[in-house]
Homo-oligomer: A and B are copies of this chain.
Amino acid sequence: MTQERSLPPVVERMWGREPVPRRGPRPRIDLPAIASAAIEIADAEGLPGVSMASVASRVGVAATALYRYVGSKEELLTAMADFVVPEPPEPAGRPWRDYLALWARAQRDILLEHRWLLPIARLTPPLGPRRLLWLDRLLAALDGMGLDEGEKINVASSLAGYALTDVALVTTAGGGDAQFEDTGIDGADAYGEVLAGLLDPRTYPALSAAVRGGALRGAEGWADDDDFRFGLELLLDGVEALIARRASEGEVGGK
């Protein structure tokens, strides 16, 4: 059944399973030290500052020594994305809807603190112990509501994806996007103004109206906390409707 698969060594190391050497000199570094160093650099300088050389120098070895612990730079990024995640909040005793909101908000806060996660988090399925713990707690919070396991996982994906989307939007609209740094477009105000100048109302009738109506003017009209709550409630309403549907199906004996 659950037959042994040979995992990438870096995954083994994420789970704390060192390859039990016991011959030759003692290792001077390990994966947690490497990942921490990389995370510190990314926090300070962003992802472009993270190179094999910069990470190695911060950890005190030659660049090539890192390849004993990670197979490639991409693996290093994956490890960073797991090590940076703290413990999830505990669902015990909370109504499912409260917990889901708390969980999504916490995910969002992590992303806000480490925005370099945005381009990484998307492409990697969770294989690290910390990310998987978050998934576990979300599934637990949905226990006993009549959803099957696949549905619960889908809910988790939707929530996690929503947090990502939201932070990507905030990052853009609130400034700090490298792409617009020196173009004068550094916030929602500027973005709206630029759009107003570009849009021909005949080709873009609805969008022109929205922009001219001020939908993008002012930071509080775009991707602030209320907007996050808005989309979140949208999703939670959807989950609630699903749970209600499953409950009524259960009474008459659904699938």
Contact = CB atoms under 8 A, between A and B. Distances in A.
Given A3-B193, A118-B122, A139 B206 contact: yes
Interface of A: 1-8, 11, 15, 74-75, 78, 118-119, 122-125, 127, 129, 132-133, 135-137, 139-140, 143, 148-155, 157-158, 160-162, 164-166, 168-169, 171-173, 177-179, 183-185, 190-191, 193-199, 203-210, 213-216, 221-222, 227, 230-231, 233-239, 241-242
A172 B125 contact: yes
Contacts of A124: 172, 179
Contacts of A210: 139, 149, 152-153
Given A158-B165, A178-B74, A204-B133, A194 B119 contact: no
A16 to B, nearest CB: 11
Given A5-B185, A191-B125, A237-B238, A161 B165 contact: yes
B231 A183 contact: no
A227 B173 contact: no
B136 A7 contact: no
Copies in the complex: 2
Question: Dominant SS at the A interface?
Answer: helix
Nearest to A152: B210
A241 B230 contact: no
A204 B5 contact: no
Given A122-B118, A234-B239, A132 B195 contact: yes
Nearest to A234: B238
A39 B185 CA distance: 26
B227 A136 contact: no
A143 B206 contact: yes
A149 to B, nearest CB: 3
Given A123-B168, A150-B227, A227-B150, A158 B8 contact: no
A197 B2 contact: yes
A198 to B, nearest CB: 6
Contacts of A136: 203-208
A36 to B, nearest CB: 21
Q: Considering residues A158, A221, A236, which has the most beta carbons from chain B within 10 angstroms of its beta carbon?
A: A158
A147 B190 CA distance: 24
A52 to B, nearest CB: 17
Contact of A4 (B177, B197, B207, B242): B197
Given A132-B195, A149-B214, 9 more contacts: A2-B196, A11-B198, A123-B171, A125-B177, A133-B204, A136-B203, A139-B209, A152-B215, A234-B241
